[in-house]
Structure 1
Amino acid sequence: MRRGIYLLEEVEFHPMNSRRPLEYLRWLTGYKREDDRMEAGAPRLTEGLSIRSKEIDLVGAFYAVGISGHPQFKVVTLWDCHGGWDGGWRQMVEIYDDVQQNLFLSDIDDLRFSAYSRPLGAAPGSPAVADLLSEGYAAPLYLFESAQVRPGAALDYLAAVQEERAPILADHGHRLVGAYEVQFCDSEVVTLWGTDIDAHLELQRSRDAALGLDDGVPADHRLLSWRKRARAYLEGPWRENLLSPYPGSKLAPSRA
């Protein structure tokens, strides 16, 4: 078994024009739905749309919930490289071999202000997004964690997340969707959790209760114990934000 390889991209839009993220999400999900109908193993580099491929799978397209700490406005996307390093990842890298003119032409020129991509390697035990999709899993809200860990501690931290934190969050209505080691560095991790608004609120209040700041709900002191445990692995910024899946993307619930 080979590890899953994913790509995470964070896209920002300036000046603050709320139509731009919507235009981008419509454009992106639209052309990737067309890619799903392509034959496997037949990628093409085209003008306006860059690489077309069934193996570079847009599994998640999210609008960042700005009030949870994201820059406004922002889109986050998650791509599954089917076949791992030798599959979708190879196809993405090959477009930079003998750089061609159509690599620089895009239907979304001047729409995005910036885009930051991170290649991700699934940690041992991390769910495979393809399996979740086959199950029919989708959540109305996602919790996105990005953390700076001690150099070399990424996989140890992610193992602790799965063994210790995941059962706690499961009791509060959160399901682990992915636990990833950021590639080409040795000090960054990403996790993604599916949840909903009620579970999100209940989790926050349970933590407040453990801090003695809310006497209206049961306290879960395990939440505080985990944060202390996590600090043994961390060496830099740790942040969690909320993501709302764009309707029609694969990790979004279907609308009746």
Structure 2
Amino acid sequence: MRRGIYLIEEVDFRPMNSRRPLEYLTWLTRYKREDENLQRHTLTEGMSIRSREIDLVGAFYAVGITGHQQFKAVTLWHCHGGWDGGWRQMLEIYDGVGDKLFLSDIDDLRFSAFSRPLGAVHGTPGLGDTVRPLYLYESATVRPGAALDYLAAVREERLPVLREHGHDLVGLYEVLMCDNEVVTLWGTTIDAHLAVQRARDAALGLDDEVAPDSRLLDWSKRARDYLEGPWRETLLAPFPGSRLAPG
């Protein structure tokens, strides 16, 4: 079985116009639904690449109060067929760098976009197996070369704890074409998110109304064996029309 290859993209919108993320996510989910009927991939003027093998599995509005820049959208793409499938198709649009590459229906809508290629590691379930009303998105900078070790520790040590607190693993990803970044994604709910925060507070002695879970603090210490730079968890709300959005 081939390794799963994905792409995650973070899109910012400025000036602060709350309608722009809505326009972007509505446009994106609509045209990707149309792609499901395509027989072959193609580069279409104003639409970039059209392909059913480049699958929009997650389109999210970032929950700004959890640490995202406002306003932001996050998208997760699955390259069916791995390197030789959807990934190759995305690269083919740069062959010759033709005029179509520089035309888009969403020109001037986005302020900036940052993409990272992802490789799934052992333990990542099939996408679509977990559909939840909220997602926990972690990006972390690890010591050079420690990405796979960190993700293995997440799978073996952090996963059982979060599962008990109502979180389901969506993906464990090594950020490709670099050696010091990882991404993890979890499905959750508002109640489960709040329960984790309070259990951690209780373990710190800052909440005496709920049961503490010291394992949450143990993981924070354990993670430092691998981390070398910024680490952040934030929340994402799924936008209707992608596979990870509740029907």
Alpha-carbon separation, structure 2, partners of 1:35 and 1:248: 13
Paired amino acid for 1:118: R
Alpha-carbon separation, structure 2, partners of 1:120 and 1:201: 29
Equivalent pair of 1:25/1:61 in contact (CA under 8 Å)? yes
Alpha-carbon separation, structure 1, partners of 2:23 and 2:240: 13
1:32 aligns with 2:25: no
- Per-residue CA deviation, residues 183-210 of structure 1 (Å, 9 max, x unaligned), is 0000000000000000000000000000
RMSD value, Cα? 0.7
- Per-residue CA deviation, residues 117-136 of structure 1 (Å, 9 max, x unaligned), is 0000001222231xxx2x4x
Deviation at 1:253, TM superposition (A): 0.6
Paired amino acid for 1:22: L
Alpha-carbon separation, structure 1, partners of 2:241 and 2:161: 30
Alpha-carbon separation, structure 2, partners of 1:36 and 1:57: 9
Equivalent pair of 1:139/1:194 in contact (CA under 8 Å)? yes
Match of 2:14 in 1: 14
Equivalent pair of 1:4/1:128 in contact (CA under 8 Å)? no
Alpha-carbon separation, structure 2, partners of 1:26 and 1:239: 27
Q: Structure 1 stretches of 5 or more lacking a match?
A: none
Match of 1:231 in 2: 224
Paired amino acid for 2:126: A
Deviation at 1:179, TM superposition (A): 0.3
Match of 1:246 in 2: 239
Match of 1:87 in 2: 85
Alpha-carbon separation, structure 2, partners of 1:235 and 1:16: 33
Alpha-carbon separation, structure 1, partners of 2:89 and 2:81: 10
Q: How does 1:161-240 map to 2 (within 5 A)?
A: 161-240=154-233
Paired amino acid for 1:71: Q
Alpha-carbon separation, structure 2, partners of 1:124 and 1:140: 25
Match of 1:38, SS?
coil
> TM-score normalised to the size of structure 2?
0.99
Match of 1:109, SS?
coil
Alpha-carbon separation, structure 2, partners of 1:248 and 1:139: 14
1:2 aligns with 2:33: no
Q: Percent identity?
A: 75
Match of 1:219, SS?
coil
Match of 2:108, SS?
coil
> TM-score normalised to the size of structure 1?
0.95
Moved more, 243-252 or 72-81: 243-252
Alpha-carbon separation, structure 2, partners of 1:43 and 1:248: 21
Paired amino acid for 2:11: V
- Per-residue CA deviation, residues 8-64 of structure 1 (Å, 9 max, x unaligned), is 00000000000000000000000000001222xx11000110000000000000000
Q: Matched residue pairs, number? A: 247
Alpha-carbon separation, structure 1, partners of 2:126 and 2:99: 35
Alignment counterpart, residue 43 of structure 1, candidates 41, 44, 50: 41
Match of 1:23 in 2: 23
Alpha-carbon separation, structure 1, partners of 2:205 and 2:161: 19
Alignment counterpart, residue 153 of structure 1, candidates 141, 146, 165: 146
Paired amino acid for 1:106: S
Match of 1:98 in 2: 96
